Each structure stands twice: as C-alpha cells, then as structure tokens.
Amino acid sequence: MRQVLVDMARACGRDKRGAGLAVTRSGADEVPTGERDLDVMALEQSLLRLEQIEPRLAQVVELHFFGGLSFSEMARVLGVVERTLFRDWRTARALIHADLGSSP
C-alpha cells in the first residue's frame, strides 16, 4: 500500500509539471481527503530517513499506517509485546512529525 500511495503522489507531481497526458478520473478512483492534506512524498522521505536510524520504528509505522494492522496484529507479526509497540508508535510519530516540521 505504501508503494501505491507513493506512486500515486509521483504521478500527481508529474501531472502538475505537465506530463502532456490528459488524466481523467472516475469517482471510484479518487482518494478521500480529510481536513489535512497528507504530503505522501514528504512522508515517504521521512520514513526512509527513519529506516536508516531505527528500522523497527519505520516497520511499525508501515504496518500500522499503510498496512492498517492493529497493535495486537503487529505484536504477533513482530514478536514483541503490545506495550512496546505503543511506545514505538509514539516515538516514531514524534520523530516523523519533527522531521516533517523541519523539512522545507
């Protein structure tokens, strides 16, 4: 799912730069947006930097955010207790938030 979102964001970026293609979208293809727009490319870059520093934190973000796994499901997949995952999730969110806040 992560790669799908990143590929869609890249395609959107190409459209903004005038790729020369006419893009039409049906209502079924549109991704609903919340109150805040998510910059998928900035999140991807931040997640790549996090992978260099703390690979397990990046894996927790990927499984929860992109994979939609619950904490109990992630605990089984990663072989750790849920409390550790809650701590990892909070730490990863804080690091990504700080990284996105410092990005130009």
| Percentage, residues of the chain above pLDDT 90 | 44
Q: What is the pLDDT of residue 34?
A: 47
Give the pLDDT of residue 35: 44
Please give the class, per CATH, of domain 2-102. Answer: mainly alpha
| Encoded tokens for 47 | 């997640």
Ordered by start, the domain boundaries in the chain are 2-102
pLDDT at 9: 65
What's the rounded Cα separation, in Å, for the pair 68 and 77?
Answer: 13
pLDDT, average across residues 20-26:
49
Q: Do 95 and 57 meet the contact criterion of CB atoms below 8 Å apart?
A: yes
Query: For the segment 31-82, what is each residue's pLDDT rounded down to a tens digit?
Result: 454 445 567 788 888 999 999 999 999 999 988 988 889 999 999 999 999 9
